[in-house]
C-alpha cells in the first residue's frame, strides 16, 4: 500500500538574525551574503528552545492537519544531528512530549539530507504493511555549531523544524525515493564532538566547511539525482508541478531547477528568511507551500536534499 502525506507542519523560532546584524559581528555585508547565498535573514533558537521543543511544535501542527492524535501514531522518526544529548535520542524525547504510549521512536542522522532519508525509511515500513501512521520530523539547531567568528558558516545556518504525517493510502503518495552517500568527502563538511580531554572542549567542535568544494559536488550530484529520479518513472521535467529543494544556497537551487528546465516560479524557496535549517529545510518549505495554497492535492512533487557525509537523496511524490 502506498504511503501518502496526510498532514504537514513546521516551526520557526521568533528570533531573527538579519544580514545587517551580522555586519556588526563579522567582516561581511548584506550584499555579499545575498549575492552568494540568497539569504536575507535566518531564525535562531532561544536558549529555551532546542531540537525537541521545535520538533514537538512542528509535529503537533502536522497531526492537526492530518486529523490524527499522537496516540494514533505507530512510529516516530526524527532526522537531526544537533540534539542536546548523544542519547537519549531526540525522537524519544519528542515521543515523551507527545504521548504516553510506548510508540517506537528513533533518530536518523544524515545531516541536511536527513529528512529525505527518514522519509524513505518511513515509506518502507508503510509499504510493507508494518505501520499505518508514521510521524517524520526534521529538526536542527545548527546555528549553535557555527563559530561566531566564522563568516563562512554563521551567515548560512538557521534553526527550525518541519514534520510530515505519512499514512497508508489507496493510491498516489510516495512514488519512489533515491538515496546516496559518499564518505570520501567527509573532510569537506562536518562537526566534531566536543573534546572530553581538552582544556578548551569547544576548540575543535565548531562546524568546518570548505564551501567552494561543497558547492561543486552538490551541484553535480543533485543534477544527476533529479534526472535519475524522473528517468526511473519515464517522466520528463514537464511532469513536475513543484520542486521542493533543500534550502542551502540559491545558486545550488537555481542550478538544479535549470537542469530540470523548471522556472523558479515552480520552485518552493524559504531560504531568504530561514537560511539553511538542515534536516528541517525540506519539510519547512513543503509545509509553507501547502499552507499558502501553492501545492494542491494531485500535484507531482520532487523533493531533494544534499548534506554532510556527503549524503543526498530525493523523493518523487503524488501529493
Q: Which of the residues 10, 133, 146, 246 is marked catalytic?
A: 246
Q: Which residue has the cell 501542527?
A: 61
Write out the H or E segment, with its range, that includes residue 133: strand 133-141
Three cell numbers at 129?
Answer: 504493511
Q: Which of 19, 50, 249, 276 is catalytic?
A: 276
- Strands 41-43 and 207-209 turn out to be unpaired
276 in active site: yes
By the 8 A CB rule, do 139 and 58 touch? Answer: yes
User: CA–CA separation, 260 vs 240, rounded Å?
Assistant: 9
Q: Report the sign of the C-alpha dihedral through residues 37, 43, 46, 52, in that order.
A: negative
Q: Which three cell numbers stand for residue 96?
A: 515523551
List 10, 50, 92, 112, catalytic entry: 112
Instruction: Judge whether 246 counts as a catalytic residue.
Output: yes
In the beta sheet, which residues pair with residue 41? Answer: 18
Q: Which residues are within 8 A (CB) of 282 and not within 5 positions of it... i.e. 6 or more apart?
A: 115, 116, 138, 162, 244, 245, 246, 247, 303, 304, 305
Cα–Cα distance, 289 to 267 (Å, whole number)? 10
Residues annotated as catalytic (active site), given as ranges: 112, 246, 276
Amino acid at each position: 500500500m502506498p504511503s501518502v502525506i496526510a498532514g504537514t507542519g513546521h516551526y520557526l523560532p521568533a528570533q531573527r538574525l538579519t544580514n545587517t546584524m551580522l555586519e556588526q559581528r563579522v567582516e561581511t555585508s548584506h550584499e555579499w551574503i545575498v549575492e552568494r547565498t540568497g539569504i536575507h535573514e535566518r531564525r535562531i533558537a532561544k536558549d529555551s528552545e532546542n531540537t525537541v521543543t521545535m520538533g514537538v511544535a512542528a509535529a503537533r501542527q502536522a497531526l492537526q492537519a492530518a486529523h490524527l492524535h499522537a496516540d494514533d501514531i505507530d512510529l516516530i522518526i526524527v532526522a537531526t544531528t544537533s540534539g542536546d544529548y548523544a542519547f537519549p535520542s531526540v525522537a524519544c524525547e519528542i515521543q515523551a512530549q507527545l504521548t504516553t504510549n510506548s510508540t517506537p521512536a528513533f533518530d536518523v542522522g544524515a545531516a541536511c539530507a536527513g529528512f529525505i532519508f527518514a522519509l524513505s525509511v518511513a515509506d518502507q515500513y508503510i509499504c510493507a504493511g508494518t505501520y499505518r501512521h508514521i510521524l517524520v520530523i526534521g529538526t536542527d539547531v545548527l546555528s549553535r555549531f557555527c563559530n561566531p567568528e566564522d563568516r563562512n558558516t554563521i551567515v548560512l545556518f538557521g534553526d527550525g523544524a518541519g514534520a510530515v504525517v505519512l499514512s497508508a493510502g489507496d493510491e498516489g503518495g510516495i512514488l519512489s525515493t533515491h538515496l546516496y552517500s559518499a564518505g570520501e568527502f567527509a573532510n569537506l563538511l562536518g562537526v566534531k564532538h566536543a573534546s572530553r580531554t581538552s582544556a578548551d572542549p569547544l576548540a575543535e567542535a565548531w562546524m568546518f566547511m570548505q564551501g567552494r568544494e561543497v558547492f561543486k559536488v552538490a551541484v553535480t550530484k543533485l543534477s544527476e539525482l533529479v534526472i535519475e529520479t524522473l528517468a526511473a518513472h519515464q517522466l520528463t521535467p514537464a511532469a513536475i508541478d513543484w520542486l521542493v529543494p533543500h534550502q542551502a544556497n540559491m545558486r545550488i537551487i537555481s542550478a538544479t531547477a535549470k537542469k530540470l528546465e523548471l522556472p523558479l516560479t515552480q520552485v518552493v524557496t524559504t531560504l531568504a528568511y530561514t537560511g539553511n535549517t538542515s534536516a528541517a529545510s525540506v519539510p519547512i518549505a513543503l509545509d509553507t507551500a501547502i499552507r499558502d495554497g501553492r501545492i494542491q492535492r494531485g500535484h507531482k512533487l520532487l523533493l531533494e536534499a544534499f548534506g554532510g557525509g556527503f549524503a543526498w537523496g530525493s523523493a518523487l511524490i503524488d501529493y
